[in-house]
Chains A and B, each alone.
Chain A
Amino acid sequence: MVSAQLHLGVAIDGAGYHPAAWRISAVEPAALFTAGHYLRYAKLAEAASLDFVTLDDSLALQPGGEGVVRGRLDALLTLSAIAPVTSRIGLVPTVTTTHTEPFHVSTSVATLDYASRGRAGVLAVPSLTAAEAAHFARRPAPSPEDGDAETAEVLEVSTRLWDSWEDDAIVRDAATGRFIDRDKLHYVDFEGRFFSVKGPSITPRPPQGHPVTAVYGDSPHARAADVVVTRADHLDAVRATAARHPGAKVLATVSIVLAETEQGARDRQRELDALMPFEPAGLSFTGTPAQLAAELPRWAAETGVAGFHLRPAVLPDDLDLLAGEVVPALRAAGAFRSGYAGTTLREHLGLGVAVNQYQGA
C-alpha cells in the first residue's frame, strides 16, 4: 500500500536549531547576516523538492546570553532577497502581529508573493514578551489569549486586503481613460477588537490570491489558518492538536540530529548538549536518515498530521542528510513526491484555488 504523501517544511534559522550549532558548523558567524547563507539552504531544500522553508523572527534579540546566536535579519526581507533566485520552494517567514501594522503585514506578504511568483506564506506570531513591548512602548505585551485573538484579526484583515482587488481590476481601457475598474476594488471596512482598517489594499491581489497563512496551534486560543504547526512533544498531544484543526494542514515540528550510524547520531547529540544543554520544542529525533524516513510516515499515520516542520540541528550538515538521504528514502517508500507538480506553495500543499470573498460583490 502506498502511504499518504507527506508535506515537509524545513527551518533554516541561524546555524541550526541547536544553540551550540554555530560552534560546530563550518559556517562563519558573520555569514548569518548575509543573504547567501539562507539562499544556500533554500536551494538545498528546493533541490529535494520540499514544500517550503521557514525563517523565524521576533522584535527582540534571542534570549540565552553570549554563548548562543543573537541577532537576526528581518525574516520576510531575507526570504524576499532569495525569492528571485529560487524557483519552486515555498517561502514562509515568521511575521509578528502585535506591534506591527496589519496593513504593512498584508502588503509585504503580497509583495513576497509577487517577488516569488506565487510561493509566499506567512507564519503569524504574536509578540508576547515585555522586551518586545519595550522596543515600541506604545502598549503592554498582550496576554497569550489576546495575542492569539489579535493574530487571528491580522490574518483576517490581511486576507480581506488581498481580496480587495479582484483579479481583473486593472483594465487599461484607453477608450474610457480608465486604468482600473473601480467597481472591482473594495473597501474592507474591517472593525475588530484591536484595530480597524479601511482599505482597499494598495497592492493588487497577489499571484496566489491568498498566500499561505500559518500559525502555531498548541495554544488553546489559537485559531486555525491554512497551516497549523504544532510543537507538541509527544504523539498523543500532536494527535490532539491535529484533531482540533480539522480544516487545516497540520504539521508537527521535529528537531533532527542525523548521522550515518545510530551511534554517530548519539555522539553528535552529546557533543552539542555538552556545549549547551538544550531541550527543543516539539518532537525530537536522533538517528540515521533511514530511521527517520521510517518514522515520519508512521508518526503521520498515528497522529493524523499532514506532514512535518523539520528543524535541522546544525546547518548545513543535518539539512544535507535530510535532502540527500531522508527524502530519497521517503520517495522510495512512496511517502514523498518525486518532484514539484506545480509552481505555487498552495499547489505544493494541495490547498486549492483561493476564492475571492468580494468577487462580483
Chain B
Amino acid sequence: MTKQIKLAAHFPGVNNTTVWSDPASGSQIDFASFEHLARTAERGKFDFLFLAEGLRLREHAGKILDSDVVGRPNTTTVLAALSAVTTHLGLAGTLSSTFNEPYEVARQVASIDHLSGGRAAWNVVTSPDAFTGQNFRRGGFLKREDRYARAEEFLATVRELWDSWAPGTLVGDKENGVFARDPGRFVHSGPQFDIAGEFTLPRTPQGQPIVIQAGDSDEGREFAAKTADVIFSRHGTLEDGQAFYHDVKRRLAAYGRDHGELLIMPAATFVLGDTDAEAEENAREIRLQQVRPATAIQFLEQVWSRDLSDYDVDGPLPEVDPDPDAEPLTWGRVRHEKDPLETARRWRAVAEEKKLSIRELVIEATARQQFVGTPSTVAATIDEYVQSDAADGFVLVPHLTPGGLDEFVEKVVPHLQERGVFRTEYAGPTLREQLF
C-alpha cells in the first residue's frame, strides 16, 4: 500500500543555516515570523510545526558566537500563542528534562493541548551540560550515563500526571454542586523523582499529547522504540536512512508495539529551481552563505580544539593534528564528532580526494539531507525516500525565515497530493489524528 507522507516545518533557532544576509530574510524573533511560518505550514496541510529550545547562547573561543542567527523566544510560550492563529497544525516543542521538572512539563504541555484543542507535542531531550547549567538552579548536575535513566523516568512521570484525572473526574454538576471528584491524585516514587499530590489539569483532548524523541545513540533508539510516537533522525542518504529505519522499527516488537506506532522523521532541507540545474546552482550559493569564512574556521576549530584563525579558508586543511586533550573551543553546540583525530583523518582524505579547500570541506562535511531540484523532482524524491522505507516523512528546515516554506507549500505540496501520498484535507482536529 502507498504510504502517506508526514511533514513538519521547523522554525530554525540558533544556527548557521538561516541565510540572514538575504534581503528576504526577516526577523527570527518577532511573533509575526512564527505566525507566518505556522500559517504557511497549515495552508500546506502539514502535520506539525516544530521548535527547538535554547538555554544558553553559544560561545566559541571564550566569546559569544556572533556569526550565526541568534536570539529566540521561549518555546512553550510561542506554541501557546500559535494555537490562537492556527486550527489544525500540530505544535511541537523541545523541553529539556534536565532544566525542568515533570510537574511543570506535564502542566505546560497539557495546557497547550487544552488551549489548542489537541495539537500539542513534546520533544523529550536531556542535557548533561554544566555550561548550560550555569543559567539554572539545577546547575550541571546530571552525569552523562544517567541521561536516559532520568529521561525515561521523567517521561513516565509526566504520563502518570497526564492520566491522573480518571474519566468522569470533571463532573460539572451545577445542581448538586460537584465540580470535580477526586481530581488528579498521583504518587510517583522512583530513583529520579519521588513526588505526590494532585495534578492541576483534566485529561487533555489528545489524552496523551504526542511524544517525540531525538537521538541516534543506541540508548536513544531504544528509548524511542519503547515509548515515543515520533523520532527525529539525521540520516542523509537513502541507504543510511533505510538502515536506521529498519533498526528502529525492528526494536518495536520487544515492547509489544506495532510497526506503525513510531514514525521516523529526519530533518531535511530543500532547494527549488525552475530546472534541476538551476536548483543545484541555488543550493551551491546557499551553502556558501551558510558556511561563511568565519563559520568554516569555527567548524574546523571545533574539531581541532586549536586556534586556526590564521588559516586561509580557501586553502588546504591544517597539517597540525587536532588536540585530543584540549577543552572544547565551542560551547552550546551538540558535538557529533566523538574522536577528533579520526575525524581529521577522514576530512583530510575527503579533501585530498576531491581537492577541497577548508571552506569547501566544511560545506561538504556539514551538509544535511537535502532535496534539490524542480518541485516535481523534489516531490518524487521525497516520495521515493518514504515509499522505500528510508523515512515516514520529514521535518523541513527552510533556509529563510519566515518565508522559506512558502515556495514548498505552493509548488511541491500539490505534486505530493497529485501523487496521492499527501493529504488534501486534515483528518480531524487533533495532531494524533493527523499522524496515526
Give the distance in Å from the alpha carbon of A60 to the alpha carbon of B184 in the complex.
10
Q: What residues of chain A lie closer than 8 Å to B70, measured between beta carbons?
A: 179-180
Is B21's beta carbon under 8 Å from chain A? yes
Which of A92-130 touch B at CB < 8 Å? 99-104, 107-108, 110-112, 114-115, 117
Asked if residues A202 and B56 are in contact (CB atoms below 8 Å), the reply is yes
Asked if residues A60 and B72 are in contact (CB atoms below 8 Å), the reply is no
Which of A49-81 touch B at CB < 8 Å? 59-61, 66-74, 76-78, 80-81
Asked if residues B66 and A180 are in contact (CB atoms below 8 Å), the reply is yes
Q: How many of chain A's residues touch chain B, expressed as a range? A: 35 or more
Nearest-CB distance from B341 to chain A (Å)?
29
Asked if residues B178 and A136 are in contact (CB atoms below 8 Å), the reply is no
Asked if residues A101 and B137 are in contact (CB atoms below 8 Å), the reply is yes
Asked if residues A137 and B78 are in contact (CB atoms below 8 Å), the reply is no
Closest to A82 in B: B84
Q: What residues of chain A lie closer than 8 Å to B428, measured between beta carbons?
A: none
Q: What residues of chain A lie closer than 8 Å to B101, measured between beta carbons?
A: 99, 136, 138
Interface centre among A34, A74, A136, A138 (most CB of B within 10 A): A74
Closest to A136 in B: B101
Is A134's beta carbon under 8 Å from chain B? yes
Q: Which of B111-119, B219-227, B381-389 contacts its partner?
A: B111-119
Give the distance in Å from the alpha carbon of A104 to the alpha carbon of B134 in the complex.
13
Q: What residues of chain B lie closer than 8 Å to A35, measured between beta carbons?
A: 83-84, 114-116
Give the distance in Å from the alpha carbon of A86 to the alpha carbon of B290 in the complex.
38
Q: Are A33 and B202 CB-contacts (below 8 A) given A74-B108, A103-B55? A: yes
Is B316's beta carbon under 8 Å from chain A? no
Q: Which of A66, A172, A177, A196 contacts B179 (CB 8 A)?
A: A66
- State the main secondary structure of chain A at its contact with B: mixed
Give the distance in Å from the alpha carbon of A138 to the alpha carbon of B100 in the complex.
12
Q: What residues of chain B lie closer than 8 Å to A182, measured between beta carbons?
A: 63-64, 66
Give the distance in Å from the alpha carbon of A82 to the alpha carbon of B69 in the complex.
28
Asked if residues B74 and A137 are in contact (CB atoms below 8 Å), the reply is no
Interface centre among B69, B104, B179, B199 (most CB of A within 10 A): B179
Give the distance in Å from the alpha carbon of A331 to the alpha carbon of B165 in the complex.
46
Asked if residues B179 and A107 are in contact (CB atoms below 8 Å), the reply is no
Is A198's beta carbon under 8 Å from chain B? yes
Is B286's beta carbon under 8 Å from chain A? no
Q: What residues of chain B lie closer than 8 Å to A170, measured between beta carbons?
A: 71
Is A266's beta carbon under 8 Å from chain B? no
Asked if residues A177 and B197 are in contact (CB atoms below 8 Å), the reply is no
Q: What residues of chain B lie closer than 8 Å to A165, measured between beta carbons?
A: 71
Closest to B189 in A: A137
Q: Are A81 and B83 CB-contacts (below 8 A) given A102-B137, A275-B177? A: yes
Which of A189-221 touch B at CB < 8 Å? 194-200, 202-204
Asked if residues A78 and B111 are in contact (CB atoms below 8 Å), the reply is yes
Q: Which of B29, B134, B137 contacts A114 (CB 8 A)?
A: B29
Q: Are A185 and B57 CB-contacts (below 8 A) given A71-B200, A111-B74, A115-B31? A: yes
Which of A164-179 touch B at CB < 8 Å? 165, 169-170, 172, 174, 177-179
Give the distance in Å from the alpha carbon of A70 to the alpha carbon of B100 in the complex.
24
Nearest-CB distance from B24 to chain A (Å)?
13
Q: Contact flags (1/0) for B169-212 with A, using CB distance below 8 Å?
A: 01110100111111110000000011111111110000000000
Is A23's beta carbon under 8 Å from chain B? yes
Q: What residues of chain A lie closer than 8 Å to B196, measured between beta carbons?
A: 134
Closest to A198 in B: B134
Asked if residues B178 and A67 are in contact (CB atoms below 8 Å), the reply is yes
Is B422's beta carbon under 8 Å from chain A? no
Is A22's beta carbon under 8 Å from chain B? yes
Is B136's beta carbon under 8 Å from chain A? yes
Is B417's beta carbon under 8 Å from chain A? no
Asked if residues A137 and B194 are in contact (CB atoms below 8 Å), the reply is yes
Give the distance in Å from the alpha carbon of A54 to the alpha carbon of B164 in the complex.
28
Asked if residues A78 and B80 are in contact (CB atoms below 8 Å), the reply is yes
Q: Are A103 and B136 CB-contacts (below 8 A) given A35-B115, A78-B80, A137-B194? A: yes
Is A1's beta carbon under 8 Å from chain B? no
Asked if residues B68 and A34 are in contact (CB atoms below 8 Å), the reply is no
Nearest-CB distance from A122 to chain B (Å)?
12
Asked if residues A74 and B107 are in contact (CB atoms below 8 Å), the reply is yes
Give the distance in Å from the alpha carbon of A60 to the alpha carbon of B112 in the complex.
18
Is B347's beta carbon under 8 Å from chain A? no
Q: Which of B76, B103, B180, B201 contacts A73 (CB 8 A)?
A: B201
Asked if residues B74 and A71 are in contact (CB atoms below 8 Å), the reply is no
Is B54's beta carbon under 8 Å from chain A? yes
Is A355's beta carbon under 8 Å from chain B? no
Q: What residues of chain B lie closer than 8 Å to A117, measured between beta carbons?
A: 31
Asked if residues A202 and B72 are in contact (CB atoms below 8 Å), the reply is yes
Q: Are A77 and B77 CB-contacts (below 8 A) given A71-B200, A84-B84? A: yes
Interface centre among B70, B112, B201 (most CB of A within 10 A): B70
26 inter-chain pairs at a CB distance below 8 angstroms, sorted by A residue, are A29-B179, A33-B201, A59-B104, A60-B197, A61-B198, A66-B171, A68-B179, A69-B179, A77-B76, A80-B78, A81-B115, A84-B85, A101-B99, A101-B138, A104-B99, A114-B73, A115-B31, A169-B71, A174-B21, A177-B67, A177-B293, A180-B71, A194-B137, A200-B57, A202-B14, A203-B72
Known pairs A66-B178, A67-B178 / 7 extra A-B pairs, C-beta < 8 Å: A59-B104, A73-B114, A81-B84, A83-B31, A103-B136, A200-B57, A275-B177
Which 5 pairs, one residue from A and one from B, show the smallest C-beta to C-beta distance?
Answer: A29-B172, A111-B77, A115-B81, A198-B134, A111-B73
Residue ranges of A at the interface with B (Cβ–Cβ < 8 Å)? 20, 22-24, 28-30, 33-35, 39, 59-61, 66-74, 76-78, 80-85, 99-104, 107-108, 110-112, 114-115, 117, 131, 134-138, 165, 169-170, 172, 174, 177-182, 185, 194-200, 202-204, 275-276
Residue ranges of B at the interface with A (Cβ–Cβ < 8 Å)? 14, 20-21, 29-31, 35, 54-57, 63-64, 66-74, 76-78, 80-85, 99-101, 103-104, 107-108, 111-112, 114-117, 134-138, 165, 170-172, 174, 177-184, 193-202, 292-295
